[in-house]
Amino acid sequence: MQLDVITLFPDSLDWFKGQRHVRNAIEAGHEVRAIDPRPFTPLTGRQVDDTPFGGGAGMVLRVDAYEAGLRGIYGVDPVELTKQRRVIALVPNGRVLDDVLVDELVAEPAITLLCGRYEGFDERILDHFVTDRVSLGQYVLAGGELAAMVVADAVVRKLPGALGHAHSAGEESFSAELDGDPEYPHYTRPAEHRGWAVPPILQSGDHAKIAAWRREQSRLRGEAAPGARLTRPDR
């Protein structure tokens, strides 16, 4: 996969790109790029934003600057680009990220995440250069970079080769393997601490019984808390 983050602050992704699972994915042949659209702006002084028509506080990212940025990065009209790959704007009022969306994105050969800043995007960027508007939730972040890193993290860790052999993104919370239920509880040594004992079945060595116990724990957790389970359309 080629995963691009278009941001006015590309250095803000340095920490993310240094994470072990991201480095693993890159070594396995995937690409993670943070790209500044500013060098491509046709405006003087590297300008990419402007005051809002109609007045009001803050600055709005300009459609001509983002057109030039996307054209400069990909070498095609950004309207055409939307037919070639998913171009996702991170906004407070979009489709809320969940594991179903993450799985959709993992299946894509290439995605572009557009980070907003200031008051956000000129609406024409969203209308014409973007395939998806994605939100982390109903609150406002100062910029899209943290949101882009959340999306990228959730996607990259599911790419083949990102997690080590010892780990897997298979039986985990919200997964199809667990029917959208939360993950079962985990325990490690010591077997008892302050009288808090590990469930004896986990030390029984009976793998079939352990698997059944874990599945039941997941199901109970999914029932217990509203929002704890994810309704998957494929189920």
Which residues make up the interface to ligand ADE (CB under 6 A)?
Answer: 90-92, 116, 135-137, 139-141, 144, 147
CB-wise, 144 or 180, nearer to ligand ADE? 144
Alpha helices in the chain (DSSP H): 14-17, 20-27, 63-74, 78-84, 99-106, 123-128, 145-156, 207-224
Q: How far is the CB of 38 from ligand ADE (least distance, A)?
A: 19
What minimum distance in Å lies between the beta carbon of 100 and ligand ADE?
17
Pairing between β-strand 60-61 and β-strand 49-50 as defined by DSSP bridges: antiparallel
How does strand 49-50 pair with strand 31-35? unpaired
Task: Decide: helix, strand or coil at residue 4.
Answer: strand
Residue 93 or residue 203: which is nearer to ligand ADE going by CB?
93
What CA–CA distance (Å, rounded) separates 134 from 86?
Answer: 11
Q: Which is nearer to ligand ADE, 118 or 213 (CB)?
A: 118
73, 37 contact by CB (below 8 A): yes
Handedness of CA 69, 73, 75, 79 (dihedral sign): negative
3-state secondary structure of 3: strand
Considering the complex, what minimum distance in angstroms separates the CB of residue 148 from ligand ADE?
Answer: 8
Nearer CB in complex with ligand ADE: 114/178: 114
Between 144 and 222, CB nearer to ligand ADE: 144
H helix and E strand count, the chain: 8, 10
